[in-house]
Amino acid sequence: SYVLTQPPSVSVAPGKTATITCGGNNIGSKSVHWYQQKPGQAPVLVISYNGDRPSGIPERFSGSNSGNTATLTLNRVEAGDEADYYCQVWDNSGDHPGVIFGGGTKLTVL
C-alpha cells in the first residue's frame, strides 16, 4: 500500500519559517491534505488539495506538492503553532482504496 513519510520532528524559532515535508512515490500526482493536532484535541484540516486554506486558517499556512514531496510551510511561526502535523492522501491503487496518513511531525517552537 501507499506510504507517506514525514520527519518525526521539526524545530523552529518564533517568527521564523517552518517547513514540514511529506514524501511519497509520485505524490505530486495526488491531492495532499494537512492536519494540525494539538495535545488533547481532535485534528483540524489546515491545508486541503495541496495548497488550499479552509476558512479560518491563517494565511501563514501554505502548501505545495510536486514530484515525490509535498510540503507544508508555516511562515512567521507562533507559539500557538506548536502541534503535531499530519499529511494525508486518498489512495486508489491496489485492492484496498482508502485514506493514508503520514506518521506525523511534531513541530516544536523554541
Partner 1 sequence: EVQLVESGGALVQPGGSQRLACAGSGFSFSGYSLNWVRQAPGKGLEWIAYISISGDSIYYADSVKGRFTISRDNAKNSLFLQMNNLRDDDTAIYYCARGSLELDSWGQGTLVTVSS
The answer to whether 96 contacts partner 1 (rule: CB under 8 A) is: yes
Residue number, 16 or 90, with CB nearest to partner 1: 90
The answer to whether residues 89 and 32 touch, using CB atoms and an 8 Å cutoff, is yes
Site track 46-85 with partner 1 (rule: CB under 8 A), x = hit:
--xx----x-----------------------------x-
The answer to whether 98 contacts partner 1 (rule: CB under 8 A) is: yes
Handedness of CA 108, 69, 32, 65 (dihedral sign): positive
From the list 22, 27, 33, 62, which residue makes contact with partner 1 (rule: CB under 8 A)? 33
Residue number, 23 or 43, with CB nearest to partner 1: 43
Q: C-alpha grid cell for residue 9? A: 520532528
Q: List Cα–Cα distances, 15 to 7, 21, 42, in angstroms.
A: 21, 19, 26
